[in-house]
Amino acid sequence: MMGFSRPQTAAFWLMVAAIMIAPAILYPVFLMKVMCFALFACAFNLLIGYVGLGSFGHAAFFGMGAYITAYSAKAWGWTPEIAILAGGLVGGGLGLAFGWLAIRRQGIYFAMITLALAQMNYFLCTQWDFTGGEDGIQGVPRGNLFGLFSLKSDLAMYAVVAVIFVACFLLIHRIVHSPFGQVLKAIRENEPRATSLGYRTDDYKLMVFVLSAAIAGIAGGMKSLVFGIATLTDVNFPMSGEVILMALLGGMGTIFGPVVGAAIVITMQNYLAPFGAWVTVTQGVVFVVCVLAFRRGLIGELAARRRLSL
């Protein structure tokens, strides 16, 4: 199905079943948070896992998506689907600008440039009026889907988030398994060779950067509607760090890894929240352990042991 291998198909339906059953057992807002961040991590993974581009500034796209969705829903009364779409578009637009600058340098410089540009965006967000400065944009209404269905109840919102998440997840899978995706992997493995085969590798990198940024913007937009708030935390650097952690822990370059990674990191944050800065310490330890002991991540290791592709 859609280029899924057999184990991937099984895992996909398992995930869909889990999404459908879970709200009966777990708090829906928590699950929606997991899905928003899972989508964010999948978007990030599209870059690092399939093209080998390590962006350290993805919070910019996520956070701007959150701000734009929140602002258009609150100030202009846009319906949620249009507001989220606007978040995605602005995320993608910002991605076009960042990507266009960052692909001029490679490897480690790419990471530093994306980090610096995101920090610039953060400082601008502290100064712009529409972001509400330190307060952020609060009390964002969830509104009515298509102007018809109220999303006030958590379960209605849950259904929307679940549909968008699964749709974007399938889109990412489709991108990876398209001819376009094959060129991306070729660039990851050997860029000069891809160039010599006649591909304009910079164009491909820029395109996938924009796609990744747009999906991150959608994820941020959803998050701001779920919680009714968009703040500086969403655009600040620690957010970029968290999404890297999710992808690394779950498995960079696997389809399901970032989802699992996001679920674990969000759960960890929930349970460790009372312990203050220990969250940071734990995240640091997970980083170190992942890099030293299992670079393929949880799903990557599982896939390698079982010789599956997940």
156 binds other proteins (CB under 8 A): no
Options 70-78, 87-95, 206-214, 271-279: segment touching other proteins (CB under 8 A): 271-279
Which listed residue (1, 10, 75, 101) binds other proteins by CB under 8 A?
A: 101
Q: How far apart are CA 160 and CA 194, in angstroms?
A: 40
Q: Of 296, 250, 297, which is closest to residue 38 (Cα–Cα)? A: 250
Hey, which bits of the chain come out as E strands? 137-138, 144-145, 149-150, 229-230
Which residue shows structure tokens 């952690």? 245
Q: How far is CA 194 from CA 51, 202, 208, 277, in A?
A: 12, 11, 16, 45
Options 38-46, 64-72, 190-198, 285-293: segment touching other proteins (CB under 8 A): 285-293
Options 58-66, 106-114, 148-156, 203-211: segment touching other proteins (CB under 8 A): 106-114
Q: How far apart are CA 121 and CA 95, in angstroms?
A: 12
304 binds other proteins (CB under 8 A): no
Minimum CB distance to other proteins, residue 69 (Å): 24
Specify which residues 229 forms β-bridges with: 138
Binding pattern for the stretch 165-204 against other proteins, x by CB under 8 A and - elsewhere = ----------------------------------------
Neighbours of 103 (CB within 10 A): 18
Comparing CB distances to other proteins, the nearer of 144 and 282 is 282
Q: How far apart are CA 74 and CA 140, in angstroms?
A: 5
CA dihedral in degrees (198, 203, 209, 212; nearest 10)?
-70
Q: Do the beta carbons of residue 161 and residue 177 sit within 8 Å?
A: no
Q: Do the beta carbons of residue 86 and residue 73 sit within 8 Å?
A: no
Supply φ then ψ for residue 2, to 5 degrees: 50, 30
Which listed residue (17, 285, 306, 309) binds other proteins by CB under 8 A?
A: 285
Comparing CB distances to other proteins, the nearer of 80 and 241 is 241
Angle at alpha carbon of residue 22, lines to 9 and 10, rounded to 5°: 10
107 binds other proteins (CB under 8 A): yes
Comparing CB distances to other proteins, the nearer of 87 and 297 is 297
Q: Of 239, 245, 278, which is closest to residue 260 (Cα–Cα)? A: 245
Minimum CB distance to other proteins, residue 39 (Å): 22
Size of the site for other proteins (CB under 8 A): 43
Restricting to residues 52-71, which ones interact with other proteins according to CB under 8 A? 54, 56
Which listed residue (18, 21, 26, 291) binds other proteins by CB under 8 A?
A: 291
272 binds other proteins (CB under 8 A): no
46 binds other proteins (CB under 8 A): no
Tell me which residues touch other proteins (CB under 8 A). 48, 54, 56, 101, 104-109, 111-113, 115-117, 119-120, 123-124, 126-127, 237, 241, 244, 248, 276-288, 290-292, 295
